[in-house]
Amino acid sequence: MEQPFTPHSPILKALQSAGPRAGPLRLLHARIIVSGLHHSLPVLTNLLTSLSTASPSPSPAYLLRILSSIPRPDAFLFDSLIRAASRSSLPSVALLAYRRRIRLRNLPLSNYTLTAVIRSCALLSASRTGRQIHAHAVALGFASDRFVQSALVAFYAKSGDPSFARQVFDGIPDRNIIAWNTMISGYEQNGLAEEAVELFLDMREANVEPDSATLVSVLSACAQSGASELGNWVHDYIVNRALPVDVVLGTSLVNMHVRCGNLSEARRVFDWMPERNVVAWTSMISGYGIHGCGCEAVELFKRMRSSEGAPRPNDVTFVAVLSACAHAGLVEEGREAYACMEREYGIVPQSEHHVCMVDMYARAGLLYEAKRFVEVCVHGEPAPAVWTAMMGACWVRKEYGLGADVAERLLEVEPDHPGHYVMLSNMFALAGRGELVEAVRRKMVRKRLKKLVGYSSVEIDGAGHVFRMGDRAHPWMGEIRRCLEGLAREMREAGCAVRMEEEIGLL
């Protein structure tokens, strides 16, 4: 006999006690079937929404089987399931439920449901489906709904189409803080830091007060573009208004100051943060390493390991430490850090860690120790990046014989990478092996591989300047050459080895 589903029913109490746990919820599903409540819409609505946010996540097929077993699902069931699934690790369920829902033409759609489905498309990078749902939203009269529009801005930005995201954003008549934040974040995530900064300035002109999410995106854009003046303004804005600095905002401040070259201020913010997670510690350690302060990076890493309440370092933390040791020539410290990864933290070294170790040995002039590290410590076939680091070290240290051996190993791993052939050819040329240079070039011709032209760019007074390898057409080339020669002269006087003829030849 079917039991009534009331606020005090045993089934509802069981659902509440099961919580977001998949195992008890599946057992409860069996109990629902036995009790005769398997056609009750309130029961199944509660069960489906609970399962869609459960851990571990049940399979989408299981949830859809339950949905398919309901003869007459209503709008509330679909809305609840779609919105719950879009906020969980099962956004695909939200899309599949939406497709089933639109086949039931008598069920009305709300802006909240459309927002949830669009968010699911963004999470799944389902660009084509998202565009179809955009068209559906327009057809249903939701084109001017600001919640739907904000969701579409986020969708197009995450799909790598910030220009279309901006078109949607510009069509929002009454933009709230969510819309502004979404577009600023969209620009920043697509590498358009200057556009993000410009939009933030527009937001300030519109008298919209930024919140923590705005400031995180703007600080990240400042870090990308090196806009230290604006970054410092954001820092002052936070201090003057006594805004709460959580771990995300604090880490963003640290990153901004690091990228803009202000290490002392970055450390001051780091020490000031009330809470520091592994990302914050790693950011500060990495900042020291980027600026060549290897000793400070190692000291902070030691403090992280010994401080009570500090998080455990992860694999990215060890990349930051090893990279800092490589740049500062701290070989013994790097060896100790590498050794404690697996010994104390159970972290299996990956190719990124191998590259750092090879780079560390190579920068210290220990090329054959680097080679031995690859042979002994790297299990299986080393990643191409490991051989590339080794080959670059041989080039810098003029160990052209060893470099040619390494280049040949690299060609076995990546036989169609033109840059490897160019490096091997250069190695043979500098080693005086002209016949092998010609052999490498013939092989490139047979494989129809073309040398990629390297270039660098710089912006001065708003004008961009591009320098390509072998290109001497720039109008300032004479001035640049004289400047380089002057720098080389000062370096020689300081006791540094300079290969001026090669550096100038690359311009």
Tokens found for residue 269: 């913010």
Q: What is the pLDDT of residues 160-214, one digit of tens each?
A: 999 999 999 999 988 999 999 999 999 999 999 989 999 999 999 999 999 999 9
Query: Per DSSP, which regions of 365-460 are E strands?
Result: 455-460
Burial 173-195 (b: 16+ CB within 10 A, else e): eebeebbbbbbbbbbbbbebbeb
Mean pLDDT of the chain: 84
What is the model's pLDDT at position 33?
Answer: 83
* pLDDT of 15 above 90: no
Q: Which residues pair with 468 in a beta bridge?
A: 455
Average pLDDT over residues 221-246: 91
Q: What is the DSSP letter of 239?
A: H
The radius of gyration of the chain's CA atoms, rounded to the nearest angstrom, is 29
Rounded to the nearest 10 degrees, the angle between the axes of helix 146-158 and helix 162-170 is 170
What is the model's pLDDT at position 8?
Answer: 47
Please name which of 212, 145, 201 lies closest in space to residue 172, comparing C-alpha atoms. Answer: 145
Q: What is the pLDDT of residues 378-420, one digit of tens each?
A: 887 788 888 888 877 777 777 777 777 777 777 776 666 676 6
Q: What is the pLDDT of residues 428-466, one digit of tens each?
A: 776 676 676 777 677 676 666 565 555 565 656 556 566
Work out the burial of residue 291: count CB atoms within 10 Å of its CB; fewer than 13 is exposed, 13-18 middle, 19 or more buried.
Answer: middle
Please name the amino acid found at residue 114: L
What is the model's pLDDT at position 452?
Answer: 54
CB 364 within 8 A of CB 330: no
Average pLDDT over residues 22-48: 82
Please name which of 254, 363, 344, 260 lies closest in space to residue 300, comparing C-alpha atoms. Answer: 254
Task: Give the long-range contacts of residues 327-331, CB within 8 A, separation 24 or more.
Answer: 327/289, 327/292, 327/294, 327/363, 328/289, 328/292, 328/293, 328/294, 328/295, 328/297, 329/294, 329/360, 329/363, 329/364, 330/294, 330/295, 330/298, 330/360, 331/360, 331/361, 331/364, 331/366
Tokens found for residue 454: 């390297």
Three-state SS at 442: helix
Work out the burial of residue 412: count CB atoms within 10 Å of its CB; fewer than 13 is exposed, 13-18 middle, 19 or more buried.
Answer: exposed
What is the model's pLDDT at position 505?
Answer: 36
φ, ψ of residue 380 in degrees (nearest 5): 80, -165
Q: What is the pLDDT of residues 349-388, one digit of tens each?
A: 999 999 999 989 988 888 888 888 888 888 877 888 888 8
